[in-house]
Structure 1
Amino acid sequence: MNILSIILFLIVIIGVALYAFFRSRRVNKNSASGYFMGGHSLTGFAVASTIIMTNLSTEQLVGQNGQSFVAGMEVMAWEVTAAVAVVLLCWVFLPKYLKYGISTISEFIEMRYDVFTKRLVSHLFIFTYIVSFLPVVLYSGSLVSNQLFNVSEFLNVSDNTAVIIIAAVIGAVGILYLFIGGLSLSAYSDTLYGIGLIFGGLIVTILALKYLGDGSYLQGFDHIVKDTPEKLNAWGAVDSPIVPWPTLMFGMFFNNLFFWCTNQMIVQKALAAKSLKEAQKGAIYLSIFKIFGALFLVLPGIIAFNIFNGYVGSTADNAYPMLINTILSEWAFGIFGAIIFGAILSSFVGALNSTVTLFSLDFYKSFINRKSFRQKISSSGKNYNYNCRCNSSDTCTGYFAVPVRTVCSSTAV
Structure 2
Amino acid sequence: MKTLDTLDWIFIGIYFLVLVGIAIWIIRKKQKNTEDYFLAGRNVGWFVVGASIFASNIGSEHVVGLAGAGAGNKLPMLIYEIQAWVVLILGWVFLPFYARSGVFTMPEFLEKRFDARARWILSVFSIIAYVLTKISVTIYAGGVVVSALLGIDFWTGALSTVVLTGLYTVVGGMRAVVYTETLQAIVLVVGAAALTIIGINHVGGWESMKETVTPEYLNMWRSASDPDFPWPTLFITSTIVGVWYWCTDQYIVQRTLTAKNIKEGRRGTIFGALLKLLPVFLFLIPGVIALTLKMRGELEWETPDQAFPVLMSNLLPSGLRGLVAAGLLAALMSSLASVFNSCSTLFTVDIYKKLRPQTPERKLVKTGQIATVIVVIIGIIWIPIMANISGVLYEYLQKVQSYIAPPITAVFLLGIFHKRINAQGAYVTLIAGFVIGAIRIVLELVKGSLNPDGMLYKLGDMNFLTFGAWFFLLCIILIITVSLLTTKPSEEKIANLTFNTISPEEKAKNKNSYNWIDIAISIIVVAIVIGVMIFFNGK
1:282-301 aligned at under 5 Å gives the runs 282-301=268-287
Report if aligned partners of 1:142, 1:167 keep a CA contact under 8 Å in 2.
Answer: yes
Amino acid at match of 1:381: G
Amino acid at match of 1:387: I
- In 1, the alpha carbon distance for the partners of 2:107 and 2:67 equals 35
Report if aligned partners of 2:60, 2:335 keep a CA contact under 8 Å in 1.
Answer: no
| Structure 2 match to 1:404 | none
Q: Given the alignment of the two structures, is residue 315 of structure 1 paired with residue 341 of structure 2, yes or no?
A: no
Amino acid at match of 2:367: S
Aligned length: 381
| Structure 1 match to 2:168 | 177
**In 2 relative to 1, CA 392–249 (structure 1 residues): closer, same or farther, beyond 3 Å?**
closer
Report if aligned partners of 1:142, 1:166 keep a CA contact under 8 Å in 2.
Answer: yes
Aligned to 1:343, which of 331, 338, 342? 331
Structure 1 stretch displaced more, 311-320 or 354-363: 311-320
Shift of 1:194: 0.2
**RMSD of aligned alpha carbons:** 2.3
Q: Given the alignment of the two structures, is residue 43 of structure 1 paired with residue 45 of structure 2, yes or no?
A: yes
Q: Given the alignment of the two structures, is residue 209 of structure 1 paired with residue 200 of structure 2, yes or no?
A: yes
| Structure 2 match to 1:190 | 181
What whole-Å deviation, never above 9, does each CA across 1:293-312 have from its counterpart, x for those lacking one? 31112211222222222775
Partner of 1:71: helix, strand, or coil?
coil
| Structure 2 match to 1:143 | 144
| Structure 1 match to 2:104 | 103
| Structure 1 match to 2:252 | 266
Partner of 1:330: helix, strand, or coil?
coil
Report if aligned partners of 1:73, 1:299 keep a CA contact under 8 Å in 2.
Answer: no
| Structure 1 match to 2:93 | 92
Report if aligned partners of 1:68, 1:298 keep a CA contact under 8 Å in 2.
Answer: yes
Partner of 1:9: helix, strand, or coil?
helix
**In 2 relative to 1, CA 365–23 (structure 1 residues): closer, same or farther, beyond 3 Å?**
closer
Identity of aligned residues (%): 28
| Structure 2 match to 1:221 | 206
- In 1, the alpha carbon distance for the partners of 2:226 and 2:49 equals 35
TM-score in terms of structure 1 length = 0.85
Runs of 5+ in structure 1 lacking a partner? 153-161, 214-219, 401-413
TM-score in terms of structure 2 length = 0.66
- In 1, the alpha carbon distance for the partners of 2:109 and 2:36 equals 20
Runs of 5+ in structure 2 lacking a partner? 388-539
Shift of 1:91: 0.8
- In 2, the alpha carbon distance for the partners of 1:266 and 1:251 equals 19
What whole-Å deviation, never above 9, does each CA across 1:218-239 have from its counterpart, x for those lacking one? xx12313444333343433334
Amino acid at match of 2:101: Y
Amino acid at match of 1:289: L
Report if aligned partners of 2:223, 2:231 keep a CA contact under 8 Å in 1.
Answer: yes
**In 2 relative to 1, CA 317–172 (structure 1 residues): closer, same or farther, beyond 3 Å?**
closer
Aligned to 2:64, which of 62, 65, 73? 62
- In 1, the alpha carbon distance for the partners of 2:290 and 2:119 equals 46
- In 1, the alpha carbon distance for the partners of 2:237 and 2:296 equals 30
Q: Given the alignment of the two structures, is residue 236 of structure 1 paired with residue 222 of structure 2, yes or no?
A: yes
Partner of 2:179: helix, strand, or coil?
helix
Amino acid at match of 2:122: V
What whole-Å deviation, never above 9, does each CA across 1:88-128 have from its counterpart, x for those lacking one? 11111000000010010001111121112211110111122
Q: Which has the higher contact order (CA 8 A, sep 6+)?
A: 1
| Structure 1 match to 2:15 | 12
**In 2 relative to 1, CA 16–327 (structure 1 residues): closer, same or farther, beyond 3 Å?**
same
| Structure 1 match to 2:357 | 370
Partner of 2:61: helix, strand, or coil?
helix
Partner of 2:8: helix, strand, or coil?
helix
Structure 1 stretch displaced more, 9-18 or 227-236: 227-236
| Structure 2 match to 1:405 | none
- In 1, the alpha carbon distance for the partners of 2:76 and 2:22 equals 39
**In 2 relative to 1, CA 168–74 (structure 1 residues): closer, same or farther, beyond 3 Å?**
closer
